[in-house]
Amino acid sequence: MPSPQRPVPLDEYPVHQVPLSMRYVATGDRNAYDRCIFHVFDHEGRALLVTGLGVYPNTGVIDAYATLRTGDRLYAVRASDALGEDRMRLRVGPLRIEVRKPLSTLRLVCEADPDDPGGLSFDLTWQAEFPAVWEPHHTARTGDRLTLEGRRFVQAGAPTGTLRAAGVEHTVNGSGWTATRDRSWGVRPIPGEQPGRAADEQRTEGFHWVWCPIRFRDRFVMVLLQEEPDGYRTLGDAVLAHPVGSERPDEQLGWPYVDIDYIPGGRSPRAAVLHLTDSARKPLEIQARMLTGSPLAVGAGYPPAADWQHGTWQGRGWSDRRRYDLTDPADLGPAGYGVTDHAARFVLDGEVGHGIFEHGSFGRHDPSGFTGFDPVAR
């Protein structure tokens, strides 16, 4: 094992923010993280790929995942390993990300398993069509302790390549497919710590979340909101970005509101209206219709997944492949009620676009009429 007293390869570059080796992060918080997520989906709702990679420097873990929803089946690949000293090597097991040109061109690969010819694999190139857009600084506290502080950017582009599962090969191209991505880093809870008195005595009553990157032909719109049980907004933003090379500045689209049409008997959206405002104070409405959805806690490692979650130590060289039946309650369990990423069709001023409608609504949310964790849409 290399000596912790020696520089690591990233120390060659002028990227330091504090007087430490790039081996270390500037906080001792075990929940320090740095990760990404990509969405690749077709415009008919036949396939939705969610894939990402993360590092957790203070727990010494690197992990990655990929899930593909096609029909009612979800194909998942997950991998985890010890975090090495070369932070520019974005590879875990069969999953890897190659940064060909920062903020512009990336390659996403999931190698096929020779023992599972019907399993998930892909080789995709992600090409940015719009500049990366900052999201608001995101913080959350448990009692008085800062438990989440993240910096994030989001971007939309066109994917090309091949995607395989269940013996079917999809030819991915920019005309019939859309790709979005999100990069975030900071501090974010990972499993394994004792939450303490504050978490026990100050349990949340509810949480409401919408995260929505939308790619139109000549504009990219990002809408984000997070609300408390009484509807108080703790995070909100709406931004329009123009294509790469246009040199046009981003435009703010006011204070967003989202009206959601839920499927009766649950809290799964089937449609929504995003209410925005342009710089001339003219109201803008974006109509959204869900095409298909993938629960992030099923296969992708987000809480409350029971089989695997990000940042957890699985041992060296761990990898896992699974298939889920999304109509089977035994395959879903509580994970099926976590945050869900929906591939969606959007319409703004008569123009059709495509993007992700990520949504989670748990517990009480007065604006939606939910009085606790049990009530559902009627």
Tell me, yes or no, whether 25 lies in a domain.
Answer: no
Q: What is Dmax (Cα atoms) for the chain?
A: 61
Residue 79 bridge partners (DSSP) = 64, 319
Tell me, yes or no, whether 28 lies in a domain.
Answer: no
Distance CA 66, CA 120 (A): 8
* pLDDT tens per residue across span 31-47: 999 999 999 999 999 99
Rounded mean pLDDT of 180-200? Answer: 89
Tell me, yes or no, whether 4 lies in a domain.
Answer: no
* Whether pLDDT at 242 is above 70: yes
Tell me, yes or no, whether 6 lies in a domain.
Answer: no
Domains contained in the chain, number: 1
pLDDT tier, 306 (very low <50, low <70, confident <90, very high otherwise): confident
Tell me, yes or no, whether 3 lies in a domain.
Answer: no
Helix (H, G, I), strand (E, B) or coil at 114: coil
Tell me, yes or no, whether 130 lies in a domain.
Answer: yes
pLDDT tier, 2 (very low <50, low <70, confident <90, very high otherwise): low
pLDDT tier, 57 (very low <50, low <70, confident <90, very high otherwise): very high
CB-count exposure of residue 301 (10 Å: 0-12, 13-18, 19+): buried
Total-model pTM: 0.96
Return the DSSP state at 370: B
* Whether pLDDT at 278 is above 80: yes
Q: Residue 214: which domain range?
A: 33-189+199-368
Tell me, yes or no, whether 13 lies in a domain.
Answer: no
Distance CA 364, CA 141 (A): 19
